[in-house]
Structure 1
Amino acid sequence: MKHPLRRALRTANTLITVYYAYMLEYRAELFFWVLSGSLPLILMGVWVQASQEGQFELSPLEFIRYFLAVFLVRQFSVVWVIWEFEREVVEGKLSFRLLQPLDPGWHHFASHFAERFARLPFAIVLIALFFLLYPQAFWVPSLSNILLCIGVTFLAFVLRFVTQYTFAMFSFWIERANAIESFWFLFYLFLSGVVAPLEIFPPMVRAIVEWTPFPYMIYFPASLLVGLPVDLGRSLAVMIGWTVLFMGLNRWLWRLGLKRYSGMGA
């Protein structure tokens, strides 16, 4: 193994370990953050009732499993980097980050990644409680579906992180860049599969939505877990394409923003 790779792995291990310990200091807060992501479980009851009275592609049992999968995917793909980065820029704390031989984005990425492990025990407890309330919904996904879901959920987290971190770059020009995220979140909420699976969308609307980044942040990994039919190759291609696009835009805005930031006396 080459020296640069060993150094990168050592740096990543240090960052994740430190931020994991930091996140463990806020166990009570993490518990409430996990509960705040329970919207899919609330919407589940609505769609189960609707499926019993109407004609949908999914059965009541499939709705239950789908929204449980959405709950899980949301737990491991939630992102808040725009608020942290915005505060660093507005308060001038980014200057200290720039003195380090590491892009500030990696600090944010490591803290998000470590937080996934810190909230895992709470998510497991809620899942166990869920199956106590809905024992008929218990199922064991195939090993291939589990592995695919884990891998795609990580890609969904990366896509969500890169998207929001790109919006965060506008903090160099405006004081409330999070307003952009708030507007984007409206589309994310309705088009990602959080409110409803894509199966209930009209065919033409679904065909358009599938070319946007939103379904691949929630619907795609959730569908893999419950076994709903998806076009794996096409979905991965669209997902990776949007990730690369936002990464390129992010680096461009970062270079422009740093010139403005240094010009302000930082």
Structure 2
Amino acid sequence: MHDLFVKARTLLAVQYAYMLEYRAELLLWALSGSLPIILMGVWIQAAQGGRFGLGPLDFARYFLAVFVVRQLTVVWVIWEFEREVVEGKLSPLLLQPIDPVWRHVAGHISERFARMPFIVILVGLFFLLYPQAFWLPRWTDALLFVGLVVLVFALRFLIQYTLALLAFWTERASAIEELWFLCYLFLSGLIAPLEVFPPLVREVALWTPFPYLVHFPAGILVGLPVDLPRGLLVMAVWGGLFFVLNRWLWRRGLKQYSGMGA
């Protein structure tokens, strides 16, 4: 257990130092995730007529929560893993006594800590420009939100890493992620709260993993009605399915990778 702790601490420290070298780039990445803030302005105007059951302040707080969720759960492992496979950089990593995925996990976690000051500044700027939207969530909702963000990140990382393993068979595994992202964009609650979806579309979406990657934790934070047991159950089922698929693709992929002369 002590050796595991030392390895984890070393990986995180190295990756954090690496991320600090690119602080300006991190700021640009944080700003690039501001789509929810842009959409917030559109929905605030649309809510003036009171047709959606949510008021302007509800939309403002919801999209701010979406912005925070997106910042804390962004994943890019598929592009890194695809490059490692295509360029042969995965070969020396397989010789080391640690699964290569943990390097990516450490890199993502370290990036969260490096990105955190920019998130705080951007959220503070939002409340400075729109002070009437300020609110303090209940401490129970805040704690639940933190726990859900961790689960969301784990699920999203698992899904994208599973898709990344297709790089053993194709040089453009990231193209599959782009197709997946289209579904994520429209069904996750990123462009609109699920409360404004037609009932049938909303019910179908709630059986997919997408709403639980954005709308679920954001709704908890702002106090929207959320079915917590169902959400956790659906996340667990999809997480289990992708974990089994991930391990199967990893074993088959290593044989394919060695067969290519790696």
Instruction: Quickly name the TM-score band, shorter chain normalised.
Output: over 0.9
CA distance in 1, matches of 2:187, 2:73: 16
Match of 1:151 among 147, 151, 154: 147
CA distance in 1, matches of 2:110, 2:209: 24
1:96 aligns with 2:104: no
- Aligned twin of 1:42: 38
Following superposition of structure 1 onto structure 2, how do residues 21-40 of structure 1 map, counting pairs within 5 Å? 21-40=17-36
CA distance in 2, matches of 1:200, 1:246: 29
Match of 1:167 among 163, 171, 192: 163
Aligned length: 262
CA distance in 2, matches of 1:150, 1:7: 28
Q: TM-score, normalised by structure 1?
A: 0.97
1:230 aligns with 2:230: no
- Aligned twin of 1:18: 14
CA distance in 2, matches of 1:180, 1:69: 28
Q: TM-score, normalised by structure 2?
A: 0.98
Match of 1:59 among 35, 55, 61: 55
Shift of 1:247: 1.2
- Aligned twin of 2:257: 261
1:241 aligns with 2:241: no
Shift of 1:54: 4.6
- Which residue identity does 2:94 align to in structure 1? L
CA distance in 2, matches of 1:211, 1:9: 37
236-245 vs 175-184, greater mean Cα deviation: 236-245
- Which residue identity does 1:156 align to in structure 2? V
1:211 aligns with 2:218: no
CA distance in 2, matches of 1:226, 1:59: 13
- Which residue identity does 1:214 align to in structure 2? F
CA distance in 1, matches of 2:76, 2:61: 27
- Aligned twin of 2:217: 221
Determine helix, strand or coil for the equivalent of 1:111: helix
The runs of 4+ residues in structure 1 deviating greater than 3 Å are none
Match of 1:129 among 125, 129, 146: 125
